[in-house]
């Protein structure tokens, strides 16, 4: 069994997206997904319900370090990609090295771009780009009390 079969390399993202866009409604989200927890699972399953094909843009290790600090990520990009790609409702994962998913969004051109509840549509740098190619941006609610930061805090107290 190839555990990497849902991982789409950056250089194949545009052609892969072109192949599926005509028959499936692509939902795209992005994030670090460092220690996957119930909040992530709930969020990703809700995102999948918005379309036919859920594509995750996964922040690479260097990007996570820049965004979260030198102590992160806890889990390597390859391991995070394999874990996410093998969830039943995730159809594709592409690792990106930038701090925002703008370049990957240009390649994938999803029908819907989804973010978690701590964002506002009008504040996202992705919103103008997604709207430019006819997509929409949606915000999904967080699961209260479920976050990677809280999980790390709990582990450190053990």
Say which residues have a Cβ less than 8 Å from residue 36's Cβ, sequence separation at least 6. 80, 83, 84
- pLDDT per residue as tens digits for the range 10-34: 999 999 999 999 899 999 999 999 9
Check pLDDT > 80 for residue 64. Answer: yes
pTM above the 0.85 mark?
yes
Which residues, in sequence order, are CB contacts of 24 under 8 Å at separation 6+? 51, 52, 53
Q: What is the DSSP letter of 73?
A: -
**Domain map (residue ranges) of the chain:** 27-119
For domain 27-119, the CATH superfamily is HUPs (3.40.50.620)
Q: What is the pLDDT of residue 153?
A: 80
pLDDT at 100 over 70: yes
């Amino acid at each position: 069994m190839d555990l990497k079969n849902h991982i789409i390399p950056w250089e194949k993202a545009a052609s892969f997206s072109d192949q599926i866009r005509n028959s499936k409604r692509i939902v795209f989200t992005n994030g670090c997904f460092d220690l996957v927890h119930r909040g992530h699972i709930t969020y990703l399953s809700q995102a999948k319900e918005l379309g036919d094909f859920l594509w995750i843009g996964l922040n690479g290790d260097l990007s996570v370090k820049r965004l979260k600090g030198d102590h992160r990520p806890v889990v390597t990009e390859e391991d995070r990609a394999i874990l996410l790609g093998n969830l039943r409702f995730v159809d594709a994962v592409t690792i990106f090295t930038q701090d925002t998913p703008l370049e990957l969004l240009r390649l994938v051109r999803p029908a819907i771009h989804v973010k978690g509840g701590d964002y506002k549509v009008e504040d996202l740098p992705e919103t103008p780009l997604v709207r430019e190619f006819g997509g929409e941006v949606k915000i999904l609610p967080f699961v209260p009390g479920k976050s990677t930061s809280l999980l790390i805090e709990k582990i450190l107290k053990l």
